[in-house]
């Protein structure tokens, strides 16, 4: 077994001597890796999905009940479609003249 090493040093912040124990890096790790930690992480992830999936389904169903149409479709169904504008192009009068009627003379 390795003997613990200590180091004494002077701290300027409080003006006292401090003894510190030197610990090997392998022993100084903050946590262990293992099946317990992995189990906790996996269970937390599964629980998050167990809650999230029903909430998504419920939210989609509520959204469809509240607004079954798309916003563009809703505007089109509320406002009547504007009447098509009349054509501004002149069409020549191609109707045949009456046989016994004299053509009109333009006034001068």
Task: Spell out the domain ranges in the chain.
Answer: 33-65
What pLDDT score does 35 carry? 85
pTM of the model: 0.34
Half-sphere exposure of 33 (CA within 13 A, CB side): 1
- Measured CA distances, 46 to 39, 43, 57 (Å): 11, 5, 17
- In angstroms, the CA 106 to CA 97 distance is 16
Q: What is the pLDDT of residue 16?
A: 84
pLDDT, position 47? 97
User: Residue 107 corresponds to which tokens in the numbers above?
Assistant: 């006034």
Tell me the average confidence (pLDDT) per consecutive run of 10 residues in the chain, 108 residues long.
Answer: 68 83 79 82 96 93 76 58 62 61 62
Residue 105, both tokens: 């003379």
Of 18, 20, 25, 19, nearest to 2 by C-alpha is: 25
At 18 the pLDDT is 84
């Amino acid at each position: 077994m390795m003997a613990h090493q200590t180091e004494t040093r002077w701290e300027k912040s409080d003006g006292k001597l401090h003894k510190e124990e030197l610990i090997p890096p392998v022993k100084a790790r903050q946590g262990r890796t293992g099946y317990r930690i992995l189990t906790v992480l996996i269970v937390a992830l599964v629980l998050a999905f167990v809650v999230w999936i029903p909430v998504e389904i419920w939210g989609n169903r509520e959204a469809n009940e509240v607004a079954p149409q798309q916003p563009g479709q809703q505007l089109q169904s509320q406002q009547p479609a504007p009447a098509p504008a009349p054509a501004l192009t002149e069409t020549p009068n191609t109707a045949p003249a009456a046989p016994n009627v004299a053509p009109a003379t333009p006034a001068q």
